[in-house]
A and B are shown apart, each in its own frame.
Chain A
């Protein structure tokens, strides 16, 4: 059934299509640029920097604007999350976002002054701008009963945080690490590898069906991109204001997109230069695996942090849901290599690990050091990588003389999207 002619043609076309894109058309080196004012080039580059340092120095030492102030900046403190390491301890994780330092003078738990200590603020109860600390309150809380905590600052400002239905945070023990690894194997590696077992079937498909399959993969990825992006912006709400949560997410998306695109452009140049190893669908497969891996890392983070915050029951239903959800990621990984020579088996093993194993890593990171900032950033990076991979998949189809926007392909994309939506209902962490 293999259509060797078409395969070869596809490869030639891919090479031809990319040949003229390998240069940015910039100035050829060798042309001596004119010297500005007769100065060496490096001096010209340094002049603005030196002047900037001089002006900054003037401001630091002479403070010409020290008298200029319009009122006082308001204190801005974020409670990112709370952990409950034991049944008589409540720990609030706080960050000072404001330009002035803040002092936690008193702490109210359910409208009662309570003992507390501040850890990680250098021994006192004052937080410098952008400093983070933990407020530890010895309080015998009741599981499931909300706690309202008010932090009373020196000027009487209150910073409120509600701990909804508190549960013990198990903390990180070897047992928990092993459990999270096991969860990772079940929800990450096994479904992806199972999905990859469709490879022989995909290989036997006609060109048209294969392109549809690639678009199905693109649909799967597009769903994941939306899913992760919404979650990233949701988490961004809880990021301390000083880190500009939403912009951090945008930076993660754009940064990952451009980074992966740069790798891809580099690969094309190698192909043009005659490097055979860089050619072919294997690269795309690796990119897909990377994008999915980043997404699964974020998935692992969510599982790990929920586990750490005492918020997850990893019941059979949830694990089954995750398996169904992630099994569709397998064919997405292997579809790009269906066309052409079968890569060595070690590549399959590597692809499966790259796509699935990050769940374990994410679980550990989320469990040990959960922070909304880290979580949102990982999610955003995943979105960026996935967007680039979708772009890459479309080009793969086009390079094989296929029409991306054919009726079959569009419907396949939709099916990929819809299947992910349907199985997504099964997994809510």
Chain B
């Protein structure tokens, strides 16, 4: 795996560029062309100097995509992809603990709703309401059967709640205005307790009214409930939509899948796990999103720069997701987009297995390259790039509008 430090590479390119511009007073495009020629000459590919200046300026069709890099580094979508808060370890901004209580594992997290400003496209800010200051909220990761205890404090100006998409048997803990404590007013706190069930990838979000505003402003996050392999061995039928005989071999296969999903088992280390929350932002209050994204920032997993003719460069903040082709890839996919009925996920040159809601251990859709989700729908996407050549593979919503407004990403397979 070649090791390129993107930040350093970008810095060097910038420096070379500005030095060239200053010394010979040519424009940036010419310089980029020149650097390309210089580069190819350096590796012995030859190339005529004339191409550096002729360029393609006359027939430049322009390329779509955001202009500029992200300046605000409060939130790093690349880091967010595989940051899980398990109670045992996670983000510094999420105080957490794990302990036993009455023979049950309790995972405790402190979530605080705040009013903040986030960056959703280079140079474009959005006034958000956010759990612990980030959108999407912190990803929580627990095991099936655990007790999830959320010490929730509302430090925002509006009343908020946390509503879990779990099988919750106590209406007081549902996080809606009509039951339990109702909304948690500004400055107040409440402790939510939920049993982590069923296994899968789930959503938590604020259920205050108006709902559209509270969700689209950023109050949502992912909670991954890992299947318990022992429970799977005992009650395999709860994890499959299958009515045939359960052979030992079949049972073992399900247990193996559960172990691969469970962060406490070594089998989980062989899988690269990525959380992708599909969201959107309406910046001008017209009920339509100006930005669509995977994990909040438009084009954050795109390329930094491209000439539209097959060459590209990673940017400092806008660059593809690097994946190792020898690993399996698992995407925890959640749709939190507001104002649009559906969102979707499509991989280029690749077919995947899809587990709707992640509640089953056999795919609900096998060998597909596109899935569609309504708001709050989620699922697990299992990808395998082992037989692909290294390079860029696009993935995006297959609503062209969403793509061009930011929900366009790449895997860089190495």
Q: Judge whether B59 is part of the interface by a CB distance below 8 angstroms.
A: yes
Q: Which residues of B contact A150 (CB under 8 A)?
A: 290
Q: Say yes or no: A115 contacts B65, CB within 8 Å.
A: yes
A232 within 8 A of B: no
A423 at the interface (CB under 8 A from B): no
Q: Check A111/B401 contact, CB under 8 A, given A103-B123, A105-B121, A154-B123.
A: yes
B61 interface contact, C-beta 8 A: yes
Complex Cα distance, B401 from A7, in Å, reads: 78
Q: Are A140 and B61 in contact (CB under 8 A)?
A: yes
- A107 interface hit (Cβ, 8 Å): yes
B102 within 8 A of A: no
Please report which residues of chain B, range 115-159, place their CB below 8 angstroms from some CB of chain A when the two chains form the complex. 120-126
Chain A contact patch, size range:
20 to 34
**Contact A113 to B59, CB < 8 A, known contacts A152-B124, A152-B290:** no
Q: Which of B60, B61, B125 is close to A155, meaning CB atoms less than 8 Å apart? A: B125
Residues of chain A contacted by B203 (CB below 8 angstroms):
none
Cβ-defined contact, A158 with B67, below 8 A: no
Residue in B63, B284, B299 with the greatest tally of chain A CB atoms within 10 Å = B284
Query: Is A105 touching B290 in the complex (CB atoms < 8 A)?
Result: no
Residues 74-110 of A contacting B (Cβ, < 8 Å): 88, 103, 105-109
B175 beta carbon closer than 8 Å to chain A: no
A284, CB-defined interface residue at 8 Å: no
Distance in angstroms between the alpha carbons of A154 and B290 in the assembled complex: 13
A107-B67 in contact (CB<8A): yes
The residue that A106 contacts in the complex, of B60, B62, B67, B284, with Cβ under 8 A, is B67
By a CB distance below 8 angstroms, the chain B residues around A114 are 62-65
A137 to B62, CA, bound (A): 8
Q: Which residues of A contact B62 (CB under 8 A)?
A: 88, 114-115, 137-140
Chain B residue total in the interface (Cβ 8 A): 28
- Option from B61, B123, B290 in Cβ contact (under 8 Å) with A108: B290
1/0 per position for B54-75, CB-CB distance to A under 8 A? 0000011111111110000000
- Is A112 at the interface (CB under 8 A from chain B)? yes
Set B60, B286, B299: member contacting A113, Cβ < 8 A:
B299
Partner of B405, one of A113, A139, A154: A113
Q: Which residues of B contact A108 (CB under 8 A)?
A: 290, 405
- CA A105 – CA B71 in complex, angstroms? 12
Provide the bound-state CA to CA distance between A114 and B401, in Å: 13
In contact, B284 and A158 (Cβ under 8 angstroms): yes
B290 near A138 with CB under 8 A, answer: no
CA gap between A112 and B406 in the complex, in Å: 8
Docked Cα-Cα span, A106 to B65, in Å, equals 9
* Residue A156 lies at the interface, judged by CB distance under 8 Å to chain B: yes
- Nearest chain A CB to B89's CB is how many angstroms away? 35
Does B404 sit at the interface, judged by CB under 8 A?
Answer: yes
Residues of B within 8 A of A139 (CB): 61-62
Contacting pair A113 B121 (CB below 8 A): yes
B283 at the A/B interface (Cβ < 8 Å)?
yes
**Interface assignment of B298: CB less than 8 Å from any CB of chain A:** yes
Cβ of B123 and Cβ of A156 under 8 Å apart? no
Give the distance in Å from the alpha carbon of A150 to the alpha carbon of B283 in the complex. 12
Q: Nearest Cβ distance between residue B288 and chain A, in whole angstroms?
A: 9
In the complex, the answer to whether A156 meets B124 with C-beta atoms within 8 Å is: yes
Within 8 A of B (CB), among A212-232: none
Report A-chain residues with C-beta under 8 Å of the C-beta of B59. Answer: 88
The answer to whether A206 has its CB under 8 Å from any CB of chain B is no
B64, A113: Cβ atoms closer than 8 Å: yes
Interface of B is mostly: loop
Chain B residues whose C-beta falls within 8 Å of the C-beta of A105 in the assembled complex: 68, 121-124
Whether a CB of chain B sits under 8 angstroms from the CB of A116 is: yes
Q: Which A residues touch B290, using CB under 8 A?
A: 108, 150, 152, 156, 158
Q: Which residue of B lies closest to A154 (CB)?
A: B123
Q: Pick the contact of B284 from A103, A125, A138, A157 — CB < 8 Å?
A: A157
Contact A158 B64 (CB under 8 A): no
With both chains docked as a complex, state the minimum distance between the C-beta of B216 and any C-beta of chain A, in angstroms.
12
Query: Roughly how many angstroms separate A153 CA and B64 CA in the complex, as a whole number?
Result: 18
Determine whether the beta carbon of B126 is less than 8 Å from that of A113: no
- Restricting to A111-148, which residues have a CB under 8 Å from any CB of B? 111-116, 125, 137-140
Min C-beta distance of A94 to chain B, whole Å:
16
**Chain B 251-282, CB within 8 Å of chain A: the 1/0 string?**
00000000000000000000000000000010
Q: CB < 8 Å: which of B63, B66, B125 contacts A156?
A: B125
CB distance from A154 to the nearest CB of B (A): 6
Residues on A with beta carbons closer than 8 Å to the beta carbon of B281: 156
Q: How far is the CA of A103 from the CA of B122 in the complex (A)?
A: 12
Residues of the A chain whose Cβ atoms lie less than 8 Å from the Cβ of B284? 156-158
Closest-by-CB residue of A relative to B408 is A113
Which one of A109, A112, A140, A156 has the greatest number of beta carbons of chain B within 10 Å? Answer: A156
Contacts of A137 in B (CB 8 A): 62
Task: Tell me if B283 and A152 are in contact (CB < 8 A).
Answer: yes
Task: Look across to chain B and name the residue whose beta carbon is closest to the beta carbon of A109.
Answer: B64
Q: Which of B299, B401, B404 has the most CB of A within 10 A?
A: B404
Chain B, residues 220-246, CB within 8 Å of chain A (1/0): the string is: 000000000000000000000000000
A169-B162 Cα distance, complex, nearest whole Å: 56
Q: How far is the CB of A36 from chain B (nearest CB, A)?
A: 58
CA distance A157 to B123 in the complex (A): 12
Closest to B284 in A: A158
Q: Mark A306-333, 1 if CB is under 8 A from B, else 0.
A: 0000000000000000000000000000
Chain A: CB-nearest residue to B59: A88
Q: Are A88 and B405 CB-contacts (below 8 A) given A116-B67, A152-B290?
A: no
A147-179 near B? 1/0 per residue, CB < 8 Å: 000101111111000000000000000000000
Q: Is the pair B124, A138 in contact by a Cβ cutoff of 8 Å?
A: no
Most central of A107, A113, A125, A140 by chain B CB within 10 Å: A113
Q: A21-47 CB contact bits vs B (8 Å, 1 = yes)? A: 000000000000000000000000000
Of the A-B pairs whose beta carbons lie under 8 Å apart in the complex, a sample of 28, sorted by A's number, is A88-B61, A103-B123, A105-B121, A105-B123, A106-B122, A109-B64, A111-B401, A111-B404, A112-B401, A112-B405, A113-B121, A113-B298, A113-B299, A113-B404, A113-B405, A114-B62, A114-B63, A116-B67, A125-B123, A138-B60, A140-B61, A140-B62, A152-B121, A152-B283, A154-B125, A155-B283, A156-B283, A157-B284
Cβ-closest 5 pairs across A and B:
A156-B283, A138-B62, A105-B123, A112-B404, A140-B61
Which B residues fall within an 8 A CB radius of A? 59-68, 120-126, 281, 283-284, 286, 290, 298-299, 401, 404-406
Given contacts A138-B61, A152-B283, A158-B290, 19 further A-B contacts (CB under 8 A): A103-B123, A105-B122, A105-B124, A106-B66, A111-B401, A112-B405, A113-B64, A113-B121, A113-B298, A113-B299, A113-B404, A115-B67, A139-B62, A140-B61, A153-B124, A155-B283, A156-B120, A156-B284, A156-B290
